[in-house]
A and B are shown apart, each in its own frame.
Chain A
Amino acid sequence: MASRKKTLLKVIILGDSSVGKTSLMNQYVNRKFTNQYKATIGADFLTKELTVDDRTVTMQIWDTAGQERFQSLGVAFYRGADCCVLVFDVTAPNTFKSLDSWRDEFLIQASPREPENFPFVLLGNKVDLEPRAISSKRAQQWCQSKNNIPYFETSAKEGLNVEQAFMAIAKNALAQQNSTVDLYNEFPDQIKLTNTQKPSGGSGCCQ
């Protein structure tokens, strides 16, 4: 039985370098876009409170480095995620081709209990740019082949579809959290059930 003070949804954004992960997160949380982002090293996160079906939830969005070699640092960041957002650039075919490996790598490293039911959402970003390399149809076909992943076409620059996409992300994450209590084989905050107030003068109780 999981009793939580407030619902926290952990969302992780993955995808190749320069597809717009940081921009999407910033557009959604701060409604801002700039051309002057710095490449993300390691990971960064922002939180946003929102209402989903009359419930207030806090979404903790983790933005990660896109370069392949940073995947080896992934396990710490992926653990405990409720939803994984995959992003590609609709004008850059290679970023679409990498989606399979991002998805697989996430499932291996995060090891959710039911990998086939774990919620992913796919975002095709930079639809404001020409020329287009990956059609909607092609992206949708990929989504269908992966157990019907929801797909959104976004422009972080123009704020197009970003709000809608993250609402769907939140709903999927929440549904997932409700349907399975033990989402992960390893559940690090189990400890909290017995973690009562620290006795005064006590030591070594925080391990």
Chain B
Amino acid sequence: MQKGFLFDVNKCTGCSACQIACAIENELPIGMAWRRINTFNAARIPGIPVFHHSRACYHCLDPPCMKYCPALAYSKDPVTGAVTIDKELCIGCKYCSWVCPYDAPQFDPVAEVMEKCTFCEHRLSVGEDPVCVSLCPTGALGIADDNLQDGNRNTLGFPDSGAKPAIQFVDLREERSFPRASGSGGTGLSVSVGDDRKTTRDRKISLSNEWSLVVFTLIAAWMTGYLTATVVSTVRIDPALFLTAGVAGFLLSTLHIGRKRRAHRAMLNWRQSWLSREVILFPLFLAAATLYLIGVPHLSSVGWMCAGIGFAALFAMDRLYGVTGARGLNQHSGQVVLVGLFVAGLIARDVPTVVTLAVLRLILYAIGKHHLRTHRGNPRWALSLTRVFIGLVVPTAVVAFEFERFFVYAVVGAAVGELIDRCEYYMDMEIPTPRGQMSNDLAMAIAGLDPTGQSARRVTE
């Protein structure tokens, strides 16, 4: 029977014995932890409870790590329900850490593959509880083996996802949620925990780590767009230059993979993982492009097929980020399908396409900025204006008014604009995390304390 963790929020004191026990049992190096404590309201704002979640892998009934792993490295034990990763099969692409809302899979920088909580399978198999459960000094952690299908998971500070995590919570009891305190500072307190929030926000994806993916996805989008333009117009490209760019992009895309020699495994999960689909479609696009540009030069039907594969690859790229649950990503103006279409229109000087896409992306861009301004502070105004002016307005004007002399400026402008937008796509990508959920729930709780909503605003900044 599927087992799961039981966690009593009332009993946990955040003592971290579970984390240490886990690290010892599984011989984890210092700095690596499969189980960690997250604290709600660490700044002890009056009127709001302070509590902890001891979190590890929840061995979901429908585990996204396993579903989306491109290399089929994950498996779920049919008896215990333990979700485990085979380090021999893992390619170290870290994609599982993006799709897991509970931050369970972690990158082992030595072995360059992912690793995670095993549910102490070695102990379960001999009838012992996982070590975190058996050594919890307060009995807050336990084992649940029934009602997991529709167990209580909707608890404060816990990201509920469609993954059906195998966890049962005992909620914080109302009468024990926080003490009535005699100390001063209970009322009229202006709360500002912005700094606290900064440190508790996990950025699973950051520009500095993923720059190679920014470049790769943009190359793919521009190649697809350019190639499409050659099909619908008289524009031509230098095949050597085109294919060189393709190979360079492909090599860039493998940079962030831990085990490059196993990179081919990334194609295995084509049935379920958008990452696998991308990994299959992009080389296929390159092969088709070779045929189209060199084998049967500019045969229209091959061109259309090639463009189709290219856009399918771009769609896979957008989807593979989309399934992480990051908010607003599916409406982001930096999605590569949009980039590809815009580039196609631009290069083909097709006025309706360029104008339509420019307007659409301007709207999406504005929505994104509005969200950023209201929720997370700095919307980067100067950069945004640059992006809009030289990346959308100038190219659209050049094409619409047929300023062919300035066409090269339009292309350069669009390239810069797309680079900014794509960088922002990665910068703005806030994938749900347990700590992020706690921060959001805390902001809500603070807003609830203060009817004017002023302090909640400050928190989010």
Are A and B bound to each other? no
